[in-house]
C-alpha cells in the first residue's frame, strides 16, 4: 500500500513525480473514433488502430468513454454489465489489447466508472425489482407512493420530467436521476459499495491506470427524501424541469467522501492510480475539494465551469483557477468533451475559429492542473451540424429545439479527405460527418507545418518539457490592462503566459523584471523576439525566463 503524503507534494512513494500530476489526457469516445468493422459505429479495434496517432500527440494518457455492455439508451452510461464489453465495441480480449498497446506506447489508460446508476437491464436491477424481500431489494432507491399514489417527492430528472418511475411488482417507485431506464443505485447500502469496489479491482487487475467517476455527486441521495426547493429565477430560459429546482437532496450527500476513501483504499493497493471525479452543478468548488481532500480520497476532480460557459472571459479564468491554492488537491480542466458543445463554437465566431482554436489550446495547456483534450480538439473541429432527423441524444430530442444537445460534439473523427465518411467507416456512420470537418481531417494536417495539429503537438511537447508549465504554481498578474496574464513557477523556472481573449487590441508590456523570451505565440504576424507591447485581438504567448 502506498504511503500517504500531503497533496502539495508532487512525488509518489518512490520519490518520482506522479505521472498524472499535470498530465495531458486525451478523451477518446470509442463510438466516434474509428470504425474497424464497417457497421458505422467506432469500436475497440478502431481504438487499437488509432493509438499510434494519439501517442504521436505527446499526451500522457487516454480516457476511454464507456465500452461496457449496455442497451445504449444513453450510449454506454447505462451499464448492464460492469465487467463486460458490449459486442458493438468488441470483447474483453479487445480491451486487453488496447491496454497492452497503450502501455507499449507509453500511454496510461483511464476508463469510466458509473457508480451513480445502472441500466434497468442490469441483473442487479432485474432482481431488485421483483419484490421487497429479495437479496438485492435494497440495492436501488425505492420509495412508497404518497397516499394519493403520486411520487414520494418533487425531484426532477436531468433529461426530462419527474425522477421517479413506478414498479407494480413492488408497489413502489424507483429513483432515476437521468433516464427512466437508468435506475439509481443505493450507495448508502454497504453491499452496493462492496460490489462496486470489486468492479474497480476487476479493471485494475486488467491493467487500467485509473478511473473517471461519472456523475459522482449523484451517487447518494437524502434518505429522508425531502423536496428540493425552487431555484431562483435569473431571467434565463429554462429548458428542463430539472433546472427549476435547487438540487439539495437528490445529490451531493455528505456521506459521499467516506465512500471515496474506500475507493482510495483500493487504488492504493496498486501503483500510481489516477482517479478523477466529474462534479456537476452550479457551485462545484466545495465538492471538488471535498472529493479530493487530504490525500485520502480521489486524486483530482473537474467540473463544468468551462464546459458550459457561453463565453470565455478573464474573470472566468481568474475566479476558477484563483480558488485553488498551491496546497489544495490537484484539479483537472476541460474546455470540450462528449457532454458539451465544442468550445471553439461556443466562444468564437466562424470567421475567427482557426485562430481561436489555437488560443484556447494554449490557455488550456498553461493552466495549473491536468488538461483533458477531447478527440478532434487537436484538429480545431467546430461543433458538428446534426439535423433533427439524425439526432441520437435523448436530452436533445426531449428538449428540441432549445437544447443544443451532445450529438454535435460526438460526430465521427475525420481521418482521410479522400475516403468515404472521411475514413471513419466504410458503412453509414451513426452520426453524420459535418462537411467542414473533412477539410480538417488528420491526413490534411499531418504534414502541414502550419496546421492546428502540428501546433497542438508542439504545445503539448512544450508543456512536457518545462516543469513550470506542467506542475508549477500559478500567480495572476492583476494589473495587465485587460490582458489575462499569469506566471507559472517551479523552482527557478518561470513561464509567463499572456492572453488577449477579446476582440480589440490591448497595449500592455509585462514588468521589466519578467525578462522572459517568447517561445510560442498565437495571433502575431511572426515569432516575437521580445515581449510585445501590443496584443492583437485573440492573441497570446508563452515566454520563459532564463534560470
Contact 331, 338 (CB under 8 A): no
Predicted confidence at residue 240, as pLDDT, reads: 87
Both 106 and 239 in one domain: the answer is yes
165 occurs within a structural domain = no
CA angle (151, 154, 159) in 5-degree steps:
95
424 occurs within a structural domain = yes
Both 412 and 521 in one domain: the answer is no
265 occurs within a structural domain = yes
- Residue 69 has φ and ψ, to the nearest 5°, of -55, 130
Q: 398, 427, 460 — which closes off a domain?
A: 460
Ordered alpha helix ranges (H), 228-296: 256-267, 285-291
CA angle (540, 288, 373) in 5-degree steps:
40
Other Cβ atoms less than 10 A from the Cβ of 532: the count is 19
Predicted confidence at residue 220, as pLDDT, reads: 97
Both 391 and 483 in one domain: the answer is no
7 occurs within a structural domain = no
Which domain does 532 fall in, by range? 473-545
203 occurs within a structural domain = yes
Q: For the chain, what is the domain count?
A: 2
Domain with 409 in it: what CATH number? Answer: 3.20.20.80
136 occurs within a structural domain = no
167 occurs within a structural domain = no
158 occurs within a structural domain = no
Both 395 and 300 in one domain: the answer is yes
Both 238 and 319 in one domain: the answer is yes
Both 534 and 414 in one domain: the answer is no
Per DSSP, the residues of 84-150 read: EE-TTT--HHHHHHHHHHHHHTT-EEEEEE--SB--TTSHHHHHHTS-SSSTTTTSB-EEPPPTTS-
Domain with 522 in it: what CATH number? Answer: 2.60.40.1180
Both 529 and 404 in one domain: the answer is no
Q: 433, 460, 487 — which closes off a domain?
A: 460
Both 410 and 538 in one domain: the answer is no
Digits of tens for pLDDT over the chain (547 positions)?
Answer: 333 333 335 555 555 789 999 999 999 999 999 999 999 999 999 999 999 999 999 999 999 999 999 999 999 999 999 999 999 999 999 999 999 999 999 999 999 999 999 999 999 999 999 999 999 999 999 999 999 999 999 999 998 899 999 999 999 999 999 999 999 999 999 999 999 999 999 999 999 999 999 999 999 999 999 999 999 887 777 888 999 999 999 999 999 999 999 999 999 999 999 999 999 887 789 999 999 999 999 999 999 999 999 999 999 999 999 999 878 889 999 999 999 999 999 999 999 999 999 999 999 999 999 999 999 999 999 999 998 889 888 878 777 776 667 999 999 999 999 999 999 999 999 999 999 999 999 999 999 999 999 999 999 999 999 999 999 999 999 999 999 999 999 999 999 999 999 999 999 988 876 678 899 999 997 666 688 999 999 999 999 986 5
CA-derived radius of gyration, the chain: 23
Residues annotated as part of the active site: 214, 278
Both 455 and 528 in one domain: the answer is no
Both 452 and 336 in one domain: the answer is yes
Both 240 and 320 in one domain: the answer is yes
Both 232 and 324 in one domain: the answer is yes
Predicted confidence at residue 235, as pLDDT, reads: 78
Q: 460, 489, 523 — which closes off a domain?
A: 460
Amino acid at each position: 500500500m502506498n504511503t500517504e503524503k500531503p497533496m502539495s507534494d508532487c512525488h509518489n512513494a518512490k520519490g518520482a513525480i506522479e505521472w498524472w500530476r499535470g498530465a495531458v489526457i486525451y478523451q477518446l469516445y470509442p463510438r466516434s473514433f474509428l470504425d474497424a468493422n464497417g457497421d458505422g459505429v467506432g469500436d475497440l479495434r478502431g481504438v487499437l488502430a488509432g493509438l499510434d496517432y494519439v501517442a504521436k500527440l505527446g499526451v500522457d494518457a487516454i480516457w476511454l468513454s464507456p465500452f461496457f455492455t449496455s442497451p445504449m439508451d444513453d450510449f454506454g452510461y447505462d451499464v448492464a454489465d460492469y465487467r463486460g464489453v458490449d459486442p458493438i465495441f468488441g470483447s474483453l480480449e479487445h480491451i486487453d489489447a488496447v491496454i497492452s498497446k497503450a502501455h507499449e506506447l507509453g500511454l496510461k489508460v483511464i476508463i469510466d466508472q458509473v457508480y451513480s446508476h445502472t441500466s434497468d437491464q442490469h441483473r442487479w436491477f432485474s432482481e431488485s425489482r421483483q419484490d421487497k424481500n429479495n437479496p438485492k431489494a435494497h440495492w436501488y432507491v425505492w420509495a412508497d407512493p404518497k397516499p394519493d399514489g403520486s411520487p414520494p417527492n418533487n425531484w426532477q430528472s436531468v433529461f426530462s420530467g419527474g425522477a421517479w418511475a413506478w414498479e407494480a411488482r413492488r408497489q413502489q417507485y424507483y429513483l432515476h436521476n437521468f433516464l427512466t431506464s437508468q435506475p439509481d443505485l443505493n450507495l448508502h447500502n454497504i453491499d452496493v459499495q462492496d460490489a462496486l469496489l470489486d468492479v474497480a479491482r476487476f479493471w485494475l487487475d486488467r491493467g487500467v491506470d485509473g478511473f473517471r467517476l461519472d456523475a459522482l455527486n449523484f451517487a447518494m441521495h437524502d434518505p429522508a427524501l425531502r423536496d428540493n426547493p425552487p431555484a431562483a429565477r435569473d431571467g434565463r430560459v429554462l429548458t428542463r424541469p430539472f433546472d427549476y429546482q435547487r438540487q439539495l437532496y437528490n445529490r451531493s450527500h455528505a456521506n459521499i467522501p467516506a465512500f471515496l476513501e474506500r475507493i482510495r483504499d483500493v487504488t492504493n493497493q496498486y501503483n500510481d492510480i489516477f482517479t478523477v471525479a466529474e462534479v456537476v452543478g452550479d457551485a462545484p468548488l466545495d465538492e471538488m475539494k471535498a472529493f479530493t481532500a487530504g490525500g485520502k480520497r480521489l486524486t483530482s476532480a473537474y467540473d463544468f465551469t468551462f464546459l458550459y460557459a457561453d463565453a470565455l472571459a478573464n474573470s472566468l479564468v481568474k475566479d476558477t483557477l484563483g480558488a485553488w491554492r498551491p496546497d489544495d488537491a490537484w484539479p483537472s480542466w476541460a474546455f470540450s468533451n462528449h457532454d458539451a458543445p465544442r468550445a471553439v463554437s461556443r466562444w468564437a465566431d466562424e470567421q475567427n475559429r482557426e485562430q481561436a482554436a489555437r488560443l484556447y489550446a494554449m490557455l488550456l495547456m498553461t493552466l495549473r492542473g491536468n488538461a483533458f483534450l477531447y478527440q478532434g480538439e487537436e484538429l480545431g473541429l467546430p461543433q458538428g451540424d446534426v439535423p433533427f432527423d439524425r439526432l441520437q441524444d435523448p436530452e436533445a430530442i426531449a428538449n428540441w429545439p432549445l437544447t443544443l444537445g451532445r450529438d454535435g460534439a460526438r460526430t465521427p473523427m475525420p481521418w482521410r479527405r479522400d475516403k468515404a465518411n472521411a475514413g471513419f467507416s466504410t458503412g453509414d456512420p451513426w452520426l453524420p460527418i459535418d462537411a467542414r470537418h473533412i477539410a480538417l481531417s488528420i491526413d490534411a494536417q499531418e504534414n502541414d507545418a502550419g496546421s492546428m495539429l502540428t501546433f497542438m503537438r508542439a504545445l503539448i511537447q512544450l508543456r512536457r518539457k518545462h516543469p513550470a508549465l506542467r506542475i508549477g504554481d500559478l500567480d495572476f498578474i492583476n494589473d495587465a490592462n485587460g490582458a489575462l496574464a499569469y506566471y507559472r513557477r517551479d523552482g527557478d523556472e518561470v513561464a509567463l503566459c499572456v492572453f488577449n481573449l477579446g476582440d480589440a487590441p490591448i497595449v500592455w508590456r509585462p514588468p521589466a523584471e519578467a525578462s522572459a523570451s517568447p517561445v510560442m505565440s498565437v495571433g502575431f504576424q511572426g515569432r516575437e523576439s521580445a515581449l510585445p507591447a501590443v496584443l492583437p485581438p485573440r492573441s497570446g504567448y508563452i515566454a520563459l525566463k532564463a534560470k
